[in-house]
Amino acid sequence: MQQLPRIRIAQLPTPVEKMPRLAAAIGGPIFSIKRDDLTSLAFGGNKTRKLEFLIAEAQANGAKTLITTGAVQSNHCRQTAAAAARFGFACILVLAGNPTLDQGVTANLLLDQLLGAEIVWTTRQERDQTLDAVFKEAWSKGKRPYLVPYGGSSPVGAAAYAFALQELLEQGVRPDTIVFATSSGGTQAGLAIGKELFGYSGRIMGISIDESATDLKSRVANLGNQIADLLNEKINLKPDDILVYDQYLGKGYGIPAPEEIDAVRLFARTEGILLDPVYTGRAAAGMLDLVRQGEIASGEQVLFWHTGGNPALFAGRYQDILTE
């Protein structure tokens, strides 16, 4: 297998813990949790693993400035800003949304500022255009920009999750089913390639946060195949090899359904584990529903892969829904 340049940021391996009280509460499967909320970079999350490879690539390119994009409460942007600070890059974040609608500078947005990122505001529609313009301007001013891909999900970034699956197997954990939040598809593509490379035979179930299953399955399969190319491995994933559940999109990205807030409360009150209202809350609610539907059987060993996102609990926009 081809070695990829990598710097070390994350505290690895992240812990795997049992969740017996959650299992007892729902009379369900044997639950465990992989704590990628504890990767340690500025409140952690799944982007930290990807940044180990992306920062190495930026350094190899001689970059001086990291530029990336996301939503107002992007966890990816917050972790990128922290990695930039830690490795001596400037950071420009192109954020899509309206900060005044967000009840002030809270949560991830507050952390972006604290970490010293320059913020450029745009709208969802104009995001790619603005990003392009910001990149070109930085280049012309000699800032040597490196574009950190959306969600960190280039083949280089997403490869991190192939190695994350290897890490899990080396911890002696072989669940029947792994469940997690999937969005830009990098985490899932990496896990899917890790499954092929390191001999895991269980299911890898992505709960979609904001995309149709059809789109996400083909994106994940393509991205996975590109990761395999990068590692000099011959793997041919097809969209139908990828499990994506898109029945939990509800009212859309960042708008939690009551079941999702219930899931956040259930994890907190049975296990003392904090989820977030955007990603892991949706994934956990989906997982609990799939148990009820029998798609996940009650005798199974199920691992919930916590992908982080905790700061969003403190976003102004979620205070009412989390406290009522």
What's the closest the beta carbon of residue 278 comes to ligand PLP, in angstroms?
7
What's the closest the beta carbon of residue 19 comes to ligand PLP, in angstroms?
18
- In the bound state with ligand PLP, the residue whose beta carbon lies nearer, of 81 and 138, is 81
What's the closest the beta carbon of residue 98 comes to ligand PLP, in angstroms?
20
- In the bound state with ligand PLP, the residue whose beta carbon lies nearer, of 117 and 181, is 181
Q: Is 151 in the site for ligand PLP (CB under 6 A)?
A: yes
Q: Is 28 in the site for ligand PLP (CB under 6 A)?
A: no
- In the bound state with ligand PLP, the residue whose beta carbon lies nearer, of 69 and 187, is 187
Dihedral sign from CA coordinates of 309, 313, 317, 321: positive
74, 153, 184, 208: the active-site residue: 74
118-122 vs 177-182, strand pairing mode = unpaired
Indicate the helix (H) or strand (E) that contains 203: strand 203-208
Taking CA atoms, 236 is separated from 101, 213, 219, 227, in Å, by 44, 19, 13, 11
Q: Is 279 in the site for ligand PLP (CB under 6 A)?
A: yes
Indicate the helix (H) or strand (E) that contains 23: helix 20-26
In the set 48, 65, 80, 183, which binds ligand PLP (CB under 6 A)? 183
Q: In this structure, what token pair is assigned to residue 148?
A: 């950190």
What are the start-end ranges of the E strands in 133-176?
A: 145-147
Q: Is 149 in the site for ligand PLP (CB under 6 A)?
A: no
Q: Is 184 in the site for ligand PLP (CB under 6 A)?
A: yes
| Binding to ligand PLP, residues 59-78 (CB under 6 A) | 75-76
Q: Is 153 in the site for ligand PLP (CB under 6 A)?
A: yes
| b/e per residue 103-114 (b: at least 16 CB within 10 A) | eeebbbbbbbee
Which one of 9-17, 135-143, 256-264, 306-314 is the stretch in contact with ligand PLP (CB under 6 A)?
A: 306-314
For 171, list phi and psi in degrees, rounded to 5. Answer: -80, 0
> Does 74 participate in catalysis according to the annotation?
yes
**Contact by Cβ (8 Å): 207, 286:** yes
Q: What angle do CA 33, 286, 296 make, to 5 degrees?
A: 70
Q: How many CB atoms lie within 10 A of CB 5?
A: 12
In the set 77, 82, 307, 315, which binds ligand PLP (CB under 6 A)? 307
Which one of 6-14, 108-116, 169-177, 272-280 is the stretch in contact with ligand PLP (CB under 6 A)?
A: 272-280
Which positions lie near ligand PLP, rule CB under 6 A?
45-46, 75-76, 151, 153, 181-188, 276, 279-280, 307-309
Q: Which residues are catalytic?
A: 74
